Each structure stands twice: as structure tokens, then as C-alpha cells.
Amino acid sequence: MDVRVAMNMTHDEIKSKYKEYLRLQALSKNTVQTASNDTFYLRKNESKELFWEKILSPDFETVYRTAMVESLSKRTKGDPQKLIWCEITDGELKLLEAESARWLTRENLYEVPWLPADLNLIKKVATQMENVKYIARIVIKGASGYGSADEAYNDKVTITPTSISYEYKPMYESELNLSRKWSYKTNSPIFRMMYDKVAGMLPAIIERGIQEFCTDIGGIEFNITYSDKTKFKEITGSREITLKNCLWQ
């Protein structure tokens, strides 16, 4: 489209033409709506002249973004450039404009086809994620306690932000006591929320001491892998120590 023709269009006319263009790129309805709102923010909230001045600038992306931040700053009490970290504490996400929602790691952050206007923020997120150390994998190993050998077993549960798996291995396998395992993968925000709760509880559980594990099961082994690849291992309530403490209490 000729720029001179576009400059003579009304706000609704040029926005409608831009939406048509975005739809031809096979973008979703929500993405088209969000992109068109962002693109014409200055024209709607500031002025037609300022909009075209920034749009036609050689350094369009930087100039337009700076102008948008200035405009947003006048209309909000917060800092539009500030990166806010938050978490889901209850309920489910309700998507109003976003096309979809799923949990991302530092490794797959750029798998999403982000809009150009989002990339500066995503770069900040990536930098922050590099500096944040979090529990990326939890492995909990258990064993049966005192009893007959045909009932003895070892088991293991492995949990990550997007998966859970379980393995059960009897000491002596039989038709009634078979080895078994299962696994489950998901991008559910609810699963991630529950994972974060478990990860948050682990330090306190480990620090409580062996008295918490004075049961008829054997020792419990915690293997934790952090996002920076460092690992932590703790064996709590080993058979000999657990029995001793249980007898003396």
C-alpha cells in the first residue's frame, strides 16, 4: 500500500487493512487483535502526526517502542518497563487476549513465535532466568521396611515442572507382585503450580530430621537437580538410625 494513501485513511480504516494483512500470515485471531492494538496505540492515544513520525523513522522498532513507553507512563502509576515476576497461587489462568499459555524454560523460551514488540521483554526474561536458580528435577527413592522378603521392594518417583514418573521394583518378582512403571507429561499450569509447591516444601521436609520418617519403611533418598545443573542428595531415615530413634522415643 502507498504510504500517502495510508496516511489519509481514518484510524479504523488503516487498522482494518493491517488486520487483513496479519490474517494472511496465518496468525490466530487473538494474535491479530493484540498486534493491531499495539501497532496503532500511538495513533489512538497520542496523535496521527506522532504515529507517522515514529512509523517512518529509519530506526522504527526502537523509536516506536520508546514513544510507547513514554505514552504508557503517562497513563499508569506503574513502570511499563519493569519486569514483574509472579506465580499462580490459586485457580486457573483465563486467557483474554493471549493465544495460549504454557510453561517455558530458558532452553525453549524462543520456540514461541514472539511478535517483534515482545522480543525486548523476552530477552530480559531470558537474562533473569539465567540468574535464577530453581529446582528443575526431583527424584525420591524409597524402600520397604522390615518384613518378609517376598514383600520387599524399592520404588522411585521422578518429578519435573512438566512430568511425573514412577517405578516399582520388588525384591522377588511374582505374578502377584510385578515390577511396574508409568509416566505422564503435561504443560498444564495447574501441574506446574503443584510442582512449585512440592519444590518449595522440600528444604523444610529435609531439615526436619529423621524423626519425621520413623515408619516401617526404609530410608528415603532425595536427589535434587537445580537449573544450573548442580545437585543435592540427602538420605533421610536410614533403617538403622530410624529404628534406633523410634525405639528410644
pLDDT single digits (tens) 151-182: 788 899 999 989 999 999 998 888 888 999 99
Backbone angles phi, psi at 16, to 5 degrees: -65, -40
Angle separating helix axes 11-24 and 29-39, nearest 10 degrees: 140
H or E element: which one contains 4?
helix 3-7
CA distances from 153 to 1, 99, 157, 191 (A): 72, 46, 14, 28
pLDDT of amino acid 139? 94
Q: What is the pLDDT along the chain (249 residues), one digit of tens a residue?
A: 677 888 888 888 888 888 888 888 777 777 777 777 778 888 888 888 888 888 888 887 778 878 888 888 887 766 666 656 666 777 777 776 666 777 777 777 888 877 776 777 788 788 777 766 778 899 998 887 666 777 788 899 999 989 999 999 998 888 888 999 999 999 887 888 888 888 888 777 766 654 454 444 556 788 899 887 888 887 665 444 433 343 333
* Partners of 167 in the β-ladder: 156, 181
Could you tell me where the beta strands, DSSP code E, fall in 67-143? Answer: 135-143
Q: Are 136 and 225 in contact (CB under 8 A)?
A: yes
pLDDT of amino acid 196? 84
* Partners of 140 in the β-ladder: 157, 222
Comparing CA positions, the residue from 148, 154, 163 lying closest to residue 221 is: 154
pLDDT of amino acid 210? 47
Q: Are 190 and 98 in contact (CB under 8 A)?
A: no
Q: Are 210 and 242 in contact (CB under 8 A)?
A: yes
Which residues 6+ apart lie within 8 Å of 194 measured at CB? none
Can you say whether residue 167 is alpha, beta or left, with left for phi > 0 and alpha for psi between -120 and 50 degrees? beta
pLDDT of amino acid 172? 87
Rounded-to-integer distance, Cα 58 and Cα 228, Å:
40
DSSP 103: -
pTM of the model: 0.47
State the sign of the Cα–Cα–Cα–Cα dihedral 41, 44, 50, 53.
positive
Q: How far is CA 188 from the centre of its chain?
A: 10
Rounded-to-integer distance, Cα 115 and Cα 110, Å:
11
